[in-house]
């Protein structure tokens, strides 16, 4: 029999609010470069290099992040089948959609594809140990078992769910049960017993095995996702799941929907330096601290400072005589927190969201399918942006009801539509877009186009855009 085809299923959801102000709603932690020069999402797939039989990734993402996912995969030379969820329904419906998609593409093959389900926002330090765990799990998944990976705990952690192992089998254990996040005393008992693992959220199983179990334990979910995939529509490089059917599905995790109920569960221990970077204090566990226990990123200078997490995205950040703090400085926000209270950043973000603060939604650099823009300055009736357009890309054909715009080309060549005119501007040339005039900006060149845009008017919000034509289906 041929070796089974492994289809990685990349779960691209999650908000990472405890890593604010670096993580935002429209740029959450899976897209951040926290451990090295690659994002957490990119490293999730890079660690599959060397695992035999790995096929094309199936990424499950939401509408807002679709171009970010595609761009980050392109940066590391990969493409994926990207399924777009019209609504957040937790992990079980997302994986069910991926399983149905994988089965549809596997028609005519002798072996059913095996799904390796991977959250996209974790760090694994020992890649060889991870690959070995996948190899140990594969025989069980191939015969129809549902495998999860249990992280070998190194402390009594109250912030994670646990898995209790059962009878030993080759390379692992039968799955006994899942356990909710414990209090400190119970977590200590779990650690000392040696029978419990942290729940990693990673799984390996055949697509048909998971769908069969879902049909037994969550039939309504299975039916809704079946309809959503059957009526999915192709949009550029994305597959949009049918909104009404998918949104009708019950929301539930793989753990609750299937794994807690199946009698075919197997847990494979994973001792590989796993870290979900759930809050700022977790950065210190990546082994990148200095001799004073400080984790430093960016332009940071500290004196008489110990056991701190200090990160700056631009300006110089300095500390003197402080201990056990988290200080995160971005161009539009600064967080100062007791390191022991790092988990409470989520509460802060919830309060900011209730106040409709834009700093919870977007980073100072906002990514778009055509490139990005960055706020430089703003005041009453004006704001200044730096706009970067990728080669061959263009913004939508649009107009504004409340603002006029001046554009100055800093680098590259700009092809501009302004009313009935077509302009080609080089570096240091500029143009003016009056209020209400239909316009478009494009980059016909081979290098990035960089312009400075000065907006003026009575209202400067991003929702003052009337799109008349758009290449990206917005």
- DSSP string spanning 91-122? HHHHHHHHHHHHHHHTTT-SSPPEEEEEESS-
Angle between helices 207-217 and 219-230 (to 10 degrees): 130
- Containing H/E element for 216? helix 207-217
**Which pLDDT belongs to residue 20?**
94
Separation CA 434–CA 404 (nearest Å): 5
Bond before 140 cis per omega within 30 degrees: no
Per-residue pLDDT at 391 exceeds 70 = yes
Per-residue pLDDT at 394 exceeds 50 = yes
The DSSP symbol for 37 reads S
- Containing H/E element for 53? none
Residue 224 has which token pair?
């809704």
pLDDT digits (tens, 9 = 90+) for 250-286: 999 999 999 999 999 999 999 999 998 889 988 887 7
Per-residue pLDDT at 434 exceeds 70 = yes
% of the chain with per-residue pLDDT over 70: 99
Identify the band that residue 365 occupies on the pLDDT scale cut at 50, 70 and 90: confident
**Which pLDDT belongs to residue 4?**
77
Composition of the chain by helix, strand, coil, percent to 5: 25, 35, 35
**Which pLDDT belongs to residue 469?**
87
**Which pLDDT belongs to residue 8?**
97
Residues 16, 357, 26, 382: is their CA dihedral positive or negative? negative
**Which pLDDT belongs to residue 474?**
66
The DSSP symbol for 64 reads G
Quick one: which of 3, 120, 105 has its CA closest to 59? 120
% of the chain with per-residue pLDDT over 90: 79
**Which pLDDT belongs to residue 463?**
84
Per-residue pLDDT at 354 exceeds 60 = yes
- The structure tokens 């729940």 sit at 199
Report the SS3 class of residue 229. Answer: helix
Identify the band that residue 287 occupies on the pLDDT scale cut at 50, 70 and 90: low
**Residue burial 206-218, b: 16+ Cβ < 10 Å; e: rest:** bbebbbebbeebb
Separation CA 395–CA 159 (nearest Å): 43
Cβ within 8 Å of residue 54, ≥6 positions away = 6, 8, 48, 116
Average the pLDDT over 76-91 and give the result: 94
Separation CA 176–CA 195 (nearest Å): 10
How many angstroms separate the Cα of 178 from the Cα of each of 40, 62, 164, 284?
A: 26, 28, 6, 28
Mode of pairing for the β-strands spanning 265-270 and 238-240: unpaired
pLDDT digits (tens, 9 = 90+) for 146-170: 999 999 999 998 889 999 999 999 9
Residue 292 has which token pair?
């004073």
Residue 435 has which token pair?
């209020």
Average the pLDDT over 192-199 and give the result: 94
Which residue has better confidence, 284 or 214?
Answer: 214
Q: Order of strands across the sheet with 414-418?
A: 421-425, 414-418, 439-442, 397-399, 466-469
Separation CA 151–CA 196 (nearest Å): 9
Separation CA 302–CA 353 (nearest Å): 32
Instruction: Give the chain's domains with CATH numbers.
Output: 6-275 (3.90.550.10), 288-354 (no CATH), 365-469 (2.60.120.10)
Separation CA 194–CA 84 (nearest Å): 40
- The structure tokens 């823009």 sit at 373
pLDDT digits (tens, 9 = 90+) for 294-338: 999 999 999 999 999 999 998 999 999 999 999 999 988 999 999
**Which pLDDT belongs to residue 1?**
47
């Amino acid at each position: 029999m041929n070796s089974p085809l492994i289809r990685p299923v990349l779960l691209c959801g999650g908000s990472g609010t405890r890593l604010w102000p670096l993580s935002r709603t429209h740029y959450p932690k899976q897209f951040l470069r926290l451990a090295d020069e690659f994002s957490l999402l990119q490293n999730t797939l890079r660690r599959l290099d060397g695992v035999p039989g790995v096929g094309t990734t199936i990424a499950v993402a939401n509408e807002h992040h679709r171009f970010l996912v595609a761009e980050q995969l392109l940066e590391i030379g990969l493409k994926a089948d990207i399924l777009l969820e019209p609504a957040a329904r937790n992990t079980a419906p997302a994986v069910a959609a991926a399983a149905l998609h994988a089965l549809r593409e596997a028609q005519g093959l002798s072996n059913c594809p095996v799904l390796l389900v991977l959250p996209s926002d974790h760090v694994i330090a020992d890649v060889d140990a991870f690959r070995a765990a996948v190899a140990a799990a594969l025989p069980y998944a191939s015969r129809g078992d549902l495998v999860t990976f249990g992280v070998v705990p190194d402390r009594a952690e109250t912030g994670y769910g646990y898995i209790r192992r059962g009878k030993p089998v080759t390379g692992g254990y039968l799955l006994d049960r899942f356990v909710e996040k414990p209090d400190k005393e119970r977590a200590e008992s779990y650690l000392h017993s040696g029978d419990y693992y942290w729940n990693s959220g990673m799984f390996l199983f055949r697509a048909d095995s998971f769908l069969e179990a879902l049909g037994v334990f969550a039939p309504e979910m299975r039916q809704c996702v079946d309809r959503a995939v059957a009526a999915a529509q192709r949009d550029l490089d994305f597959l949009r799941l049918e909104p009404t059917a998918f949104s009708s599905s019950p929301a539930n995790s793989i753990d609750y929907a299937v794994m807690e109920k199946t009698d075919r569960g197997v847990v494979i221990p994973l001792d590989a330096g796993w870290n979900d970077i759930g809050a700022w204090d977790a950065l210190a566990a990546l082994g990148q601290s200095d001799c004073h226990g400080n984790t430093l990123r960016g332009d940071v200078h500290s004196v008489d400072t110990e056991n701190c997490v200090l990160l700056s995205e631009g300006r110089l950040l300095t500390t003197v005589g402080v201990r056990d703090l988290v200080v995160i400085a971005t161009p539009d926000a600064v967080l100062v927190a007791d390191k022991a209270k790092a988990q409470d950043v989520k509460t802060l973000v919830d309060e900011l969201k209730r106040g409709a603060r834009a700093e919870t939604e977007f980073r100072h650099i906002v990514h778009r399918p055509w490139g990005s823009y960055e706020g430089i300055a703003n005041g009453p009736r004006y704001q200044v942006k730096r706009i970067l357009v990728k080669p061959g890309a263009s913004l939508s054909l649009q107009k504004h009801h409340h603002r006029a715009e001046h554009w100055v080309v800093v680098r590259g060549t700009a092809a501009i539509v302004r009313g009935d005119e077509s302009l080609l501007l080089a570096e240091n040339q500029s143009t003016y877009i009056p209020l209400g005039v239909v316009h478009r900006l494009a980059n016909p060149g081979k290098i990035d186009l960089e312009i400075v845009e000065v907006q003026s008017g009575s209202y400067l919000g991003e929702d003052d855009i009337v799109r008349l034509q758009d290449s990206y289906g917005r």
